[in-house]
Chain A
Amino acid sequence: MDDLDFIGYTCPVPIRPTDTVVLGHGSGGTLSRDLLNRLFLPELGKAAPRALDDSAVVVMDGQRYALTTDSHVVSPLFFPGGDIGRLAICGTVNDLAMSGATPVALTCGFVLEEGLSFDILQQVVKSMQDAAKEAGVYIAAGDTKVVQKGGADKLFINTSGIGKINDGINISGANAKDGDVIIVSGTIGDHGIAVLSARENLGFETKLESDVAPLNRLVQAMMNAGEIHVLRDPTRGGLATSLVEISEQSNVTIELDETTLPVKPAVKAACEMLGFDPLYVANEGKLVAFVKENDAEKILGVMKKNNYGGDAAIIGKVIGVGKAQVRMRTAIGGTRWVDMLPGEMLPRIC
């Protein structure tokens, strides 16, 4: 064999900035943020305060309201533990609750593909009603559009919502403080893996269910128990992406303890097989809270008594200000950096 001179060999030409939207722009990670910063915010966000929380805060006659909107495009429409209808209600209720608001009313817009069966639509609507009842909100307005076959994938639902923020509540991704204790409300990654295994028919032996749930009552109980600085529901992009966002918004250093992260064995096993990290897998019924150190145990106790907080756990702390960074103390005693999800999460090859 000729002696290979490796010096000078190079990798590919830089890929051109994409001129089209790719699925990764909807992943909730870095690409989503690029789209927001490059296109939407400069054009549409000029007048709005740039909090970039799960919902916006608008003030009318001195009263603060939380306002948010979310579109739901899940496939399959029905998955273990939930369906697009429950997802559409819970997603918006939770976004409102993460501002400390009491959700009041929702709107819903349906985009229906020609040929969708009434039976399916009926089931979805029933599920929406059940979820709304559980959350204590009502559907105040709606809209329906039908597109021709192929113009949408069966059924898309947009929900918007409004909630009232009571005096004295000040919860935002920008409010993390030095010494804050970080609590997650339960096992992470359940929703993403449940939907993935249903969609791809992965045939895992254990039945995994999505965690999709309205969290507003849990939030109310937590607020009654102690001082909360940050709340976020780590949906697309997973817990890691939410924590990186919060570290940047508040300019704080976060340290996590890998051994304390609650992960169901089935989710852990699926992630090990597929090459995923549960930190980046979507949740739909979980929240992460940054709370005042002295109140942490009390808030955790209240969470554990709630239907949707039984597996709540303290997972880390804010260990400094002035440097936006998330670090993980690994189970074996090492340290690594935790980053956002860059684009779509892809299964590894071998």
Chain B
Amino acid sequence: MTTTRFQELIAKNEALHSARRRITNSIMLAITGLLTLLALIPLFWIVGYVIYRGGSTINLDFFTQLARPLGVSGGGVLFSIEGTVVLTIISCLCAIPPGVLAAFYVASNPNTPLGVALRFGTDVLAGVPSIVMGLFIYVLIVVPEKHYSAWAGGLALAILMLPTIVRTTEEMLKLVPHTLHEASLGLGAPEWKTSLSVMFPAALNGIITGFLLAISRAVGETAPLLFTALGNDQYDLGKIIGGGIQYHQSLSAIIGRIINQPVDSLPLTLWKYALQPYPERIDQSWGVALVLMIFTLSIEIIARLWVESRKRALQG
């Protein structure tokens, strides 16, 4: 068996070529892994540093005291925690009912013109910059009312939450087995009763996680609140409610006072404090960052775990 010169060349070329190909292959594959590590660096850096700086600021006063004047030590961010709670409740009340109902529509009529338009619309709405939503609510509510208010801020956050709520609710409703739907209809239950007392409870776990994800996004948002909720470091729920009870005001009057004045929220406070040249304010803004981050990240993780287990349970 003799090899010709030609065969030799081919073999040599092949060896060289395949070596180059193999090396390219392993280098490029290694690079993708390194890029993944690279992207994780900021995550751990941010989380670690915020815990380090914020952890040293947080104490009981931080959660239970109102802001003190500059130069007076101590003081906390109770006002912005209360503001965040009020804003979140308002935005949930405004966003969840229409969002869930719209999701029922899309889930049952995905291919009608309205269904297609709605899916497209929610996608578009999800991409609208949050500051534009703030401008919209400013024009729609703050200008006619002539004052900033908590409910304007809540409404701006509600628009921000809508796409997430519609999307996740729709997906969760689609995961409910068809047989459940058909069984209920076959027993003679009307469509609305099937939707509300069969489909909705069956998908409830997933839907609630959708709400949680939407809330965690909304709680971390600042831009839509800049010119709707404005900020108010003297906001004191205890005083409003206590005063209302003391002077026998009606419930609606008390709620009116709660939602008709400007409020602060955690990210808004963080932003204001971070840009001030006073070290104690900056320390407090790290504390706020820690509270905010723990809140959003833990909601995100819990919600994802929940969705994952739910999907597994439903898919079989």
A and B, one complex?
Answer: no
